[in-house]
Amino acid sequence: MRIFTPATSANLGPGFDSLGLALKLYNEVSITEQKISSINIIGEGSDKIALKKNNTFVNIFNETIALLNGKNLNYKFNFVNNIPFSRGLGSSSSVIVGAIAAAYHMAGFKVDRSVILDRALKYENHPDNISPAVWGGFTANIVSNSSVYTQKCDIDPNLKAVVVIPDEPMNTKQSRGKLPLNYTMSECVSNLSHAAYLSSCFIKKDYDNLRVASIDMMHEERRMSALPELFRVREIAYANGALMSTLSGSGSSFLNLTYQDRAKNLAEILEKEFPKFKVKILDIDNDGFSIKS
């Protein structure tokens, strides 16, 4: 079997730990049963010996499949990793969701997306990345009694993501450590209202109001201060046709949404201004993970 799991962009400005979007950039894993376990990695992490000795995908896959059928079998895992590590594009969520869904499929169980998402929550306690990896599109999420409740909508194919990927990673735990323990009432109300309005804009496909809807007062600029060039990325993006420009997850990547006819020009301008950064034009994934036998 092969499983494809999309990259994701979380928070989307004011939707801290609750809103996310899936992107057409995939990690692919091929799994076949064999007598001796083996791991092969192409792409991200191929130079890291530790990923062959202690691989998170393999560990979660084995834990899940043992829980489902009590068997401890050996498998050959071939990884094609396209989602960059520690760049705010959901690489860890891709691993978690992919491993669990693959285990259900290999064990002969129904791959129920709601079940997969709830189990993924045991490994990643914020749903903003794991939910779009499961469902695709735009997702708004809450957690109640260890279950994720999601509202999802598809994104118009005319909307493209121009993603700026700096050469410097950002550690999610360290990035979260920059945030204050307490917020003012004004900051909380601002984020609540903007996150609600942002969700409505996506659901109604009112993309022209994404810029005002995506204003954040809780986390984004505090995290961006670790890489000041990101302020300039946002400024240039908005000056050249971006509908929305937000830090992707905890960074360091920056998500810029724009219409299809503006995407190439915006990407070229950003590439020229930031030659050390990677710039990718990506479609929005509306389907979430997929499995091919």
Pairing of strands 38-43, 75-81: parallel
With both helix axes pointing from N to C terminus, report the angle between 113-120 and 91-106 in degrees, rounded to the nearest 10: 130
pTM of the model: 0.95
Q: What is the mean pLDDT of the chain?
A: 95
Residues 16 and 214: their CA atoms lie apart, in Å, by: 11
169 pLDDT above the threshold of 90 = no
Please tell me the least confidently modeled range out of 52-56, 101-105, 117-121, 226-230.
Answer: 52-56
Per-residue confidence at 261, pLDDT binned at 50, 70, 90? very high
Residue 171: per-residue pLDDT: 77
Rg (CA), the chain: 19
Mark the binding-site residues for ATP, compressed into ranges.
84-94
With both helix axes pointing from N to C terminus, report the angle between 91-106 and 127-135 in degrees, rounded to the nearest 10: 50
**What secondary structure does DSSP assign to 190-248, as a single string?**
HHHHHHHHHHHHHHHT-GGGHHHHT--SSSHHHHHTTSTHHHHHHHHHHHTT-SEEEE-
Per-residue confidence at 293, pLDDT binned at 50, 70, 90? confident
Architecture of the CATH domain 2-154+286-292? 2-Layer Sandwich (3.30)
Residues 149 and 9: their CA atoms lie apart, in Å, by: 18
Per-residue confidence at 172, pLDDT binned at 50, 70, 90? confident
Q: Which CATH superfamily is domain 159-283 in?
A: GHMP kinase, C-terminal domain (3.30.70.890)
Q: pLDDT over 70 for what percent of the chain?
A: 100
Mark the binding-site residues, compressed into ranges.
84-94
Q: Which residues pair with 29 in a beta bridge?
A: 3, 79
Task: Please compute the mean of the pLDDT values over residues 181-187 and round it to a whole number.
Answer: 96
Domain segments of the chain as ranges: 2-154+286-292, 159-283
